[in-house]
Chains A and B, each alone.
Chain A
Amino acid sequence: MKSGSVLLERAAPLLYWAMLIIALAILLRGHNEPGGGFIGGLVAVAASALLAIILDPAAALRRQPLAPLRLAMAGVGLTLLSGLPAVFLGLPYLTHLWSGGWSTVLLFDLGVFCAVWGTLTGYLYPLLEADPR
């Protein structure tokens, strides 16, 4: 599905990377200010959607770290794992641990980011490719 505009097609990959950087910034900002994995993930989905609509879903898929289903599953896996260290210390599941600037929350948020990115692109690409009839 080509847009027909050379400008858009040239700009799309650049916009994609710019949006991904912003998505990551929102993810990291979420620790002390509004933001976080979910909103960051949505911005990443918007970036992938941009590529998928202007170029085609395959082009968007190529620039994702993992295919949608695996990306989503990796994300869910990260969030599940981030709660486990606390259990071994005898604390309730998902009690988050901090050491300096690093924390298991970051792992959790990164997991949410990947889960949102993977799930929504997983819905988006097949729908863009679907036969409208």
Chain B
Amino acid sequence: MLLLLPILIPLAAALLAALLPARGQQMIGVAAALAQVLAAGTLLAVLPEGGRVSLMLGNWPQPYGIELVADTLSAALVLVSALLGLAVMLYSFGRDDQESATRNATTTPLMLGLLASVAAVFLAADLFNLYVWFELMLIATLGLLVGHGSARGNEAAFKYLALNLLGTLLVLVAVALIYAASGQLNFAALQVAGQWPDVAAGLRPYLGLLLLALLLKAGALPLFAWLPASYPVLPPAVLALVGGLLTKVAAYVLLRLSGQVFAVHELWLEALGWLALLTMLVGVLGAAYHWDVRRILALHIVSQVGYLLLGIALASPAAAAGTAYFAVHNILVKANLFLIAGLMFASAGHYDLRHIGGLYAARPLLAVLFLISAFSLVGVPPSTGFWGKFMLLREAFEQERYVWGGGALAVGLLTLYSMSKIWLEGFWKAHPEPAASAGAIPLPAYAAVLLLTGLILVMALYPEPFIHLAQVATAGFWHQGSGT
């Protein structure tokens, strides 16, 4: 039952929240997020090291039943997403005045639904169930995009829907074809079925289709245009949740499927590595062109997904551990930067860097918080980004992938350019219209940013337990092909 709580708590809370007025919704949101953190924390704590807990929903036997499995990787990611949920719920607490235009009665229930489905994707242990929860996550996001009924929101929602529906259709077709070819949906059963060379060979084209569709949903090249086109219309708290989690969930599924469940072809990994490099570069170069803080950060999501794909393409336990650590780092740091962007907007009145400034003088604490997260994103030692990139790059150079590793280093430098731009334009230079700078920052919003910054600092300054956890979580990865 403990396994179910991280899914059931936010779902039940979404129900309650839908019936309550705005103030009650916010309280339910914070309470549910806190309860989800506790449940996920307990789940991770009771897991034996490297072990797993499983639950057969509805008591149906294998291979018909729907199985939920928590291993260290999924439990840790459920905990991180719950912590992010807590931060964004705190951030929205008491902010209905400033954001009333972009929030409505469905915002909190949909955010809770999103948290429930993200937890369920992490815990799903069969392909079809994974697909269903993944789609629920995207439908909740679609609701958040159309929720405020503006023309820009609808346009963003349409772009988002058009490309993601294509991905959804491909995933569904691929899952059906894999089932037809192997007779299995359950991860463990598929792993066993893949031991037979002829089954593995038969699955390969369908697996390719599935992985391609997931790449679309992760925001990788070439079909990433939906991401910067849709995300920036969201209000800050929702943007932090969606931007922090969604692409990372897709990357997790890619890691789980290609690292543990299926034996993927070497050619695919080779292609994925180059695609990762291109994704990193295009994302970071695209970001350099923009002036809107949200667009800069949204394109950096694309760039950071490249690192995760690089970690998958390197196909070793060490790279998988690096990917897991980097994913956690990126969820926390990216979400925190989106929240800080929201606070910059609240203090300076605009998202466009050309119209704001003087934040360092006006809000020194905010400036420090921004610097911590920005340095983490760039990977300045000793930040979380540094440890994550270090784990990935060491593996890249050890495998003599000098171009991939060198490219990732160059992308780090270009990330520094974007972050310096936000710093110089938003914080350092004087405000172009001094009279326009106004707006207080409510305490809960600061608390949310402080919570995430605290987590980032702990992970940066005491990296050993987290790196160890990432290694334990991915210890069994990339061994599935050894028998064939």
Q: What is A's interface to B at a CB cutoff of 8 Å?
A: 69-70, 72-73, 76-77, 80, 83, 86-87, 91-96, 119, 122-123, 126-127, 130-131, 133
Contacts and interface: CB of A to CB of B under 8 A. Distances in A.
B151 A131 contact: yes
Contacts, number: 56
Interface of A is mostly: helix
B8 A80 contact: yes
Contacts of B8: 80
B143 A123 contact: yes
A92 B57 CA distance: 6
Contacts of A86: 58-59
B4 interface: yes
Contacts of A93: 1, 4, 55, 57-58
Contacts of B59: 86, 91-92, 95
B321 to A, nearest CB: 32
A96 B151 CA distance: 45
- Contact count band on B: 20 to 34
Interface of B: 1, 4, 8, 11-12, 14-15, 18-19, 55-59, 105-106, 109, 139, 142-143, 146, 149, 151, 154
A130 B151 CA distance: 8
Given A93-B57, A95-B59, A127-B146, A69 B18 contact: yes
A126 B146 CA distance: 8
A106 B15 CA distance: 20
B57 A69 contact: no
Given A86-B59, A96-B58, A73 B146 contact: no
Contacts of B14: 73, 76
B104 to A, nearest CB: 10
A76 B13 CA distance: 11
Contact of A92 (B58, B106, B139, B149): B58
B4 A69 contact: no
B142 A92 contact: no
B123 to A, nearest CB: 13
Contacts of A123: 142-143, 146
Nearest to B116: A76
Contacts of A80: 8, 11-12, 15
A130 B153 CA distance: 11
Identify the 6 closest CB pairs spanning chains A and B, nearest first: A95-B59, A94-B58, A73-B18, A92-B59, A94-B57, A73-B15
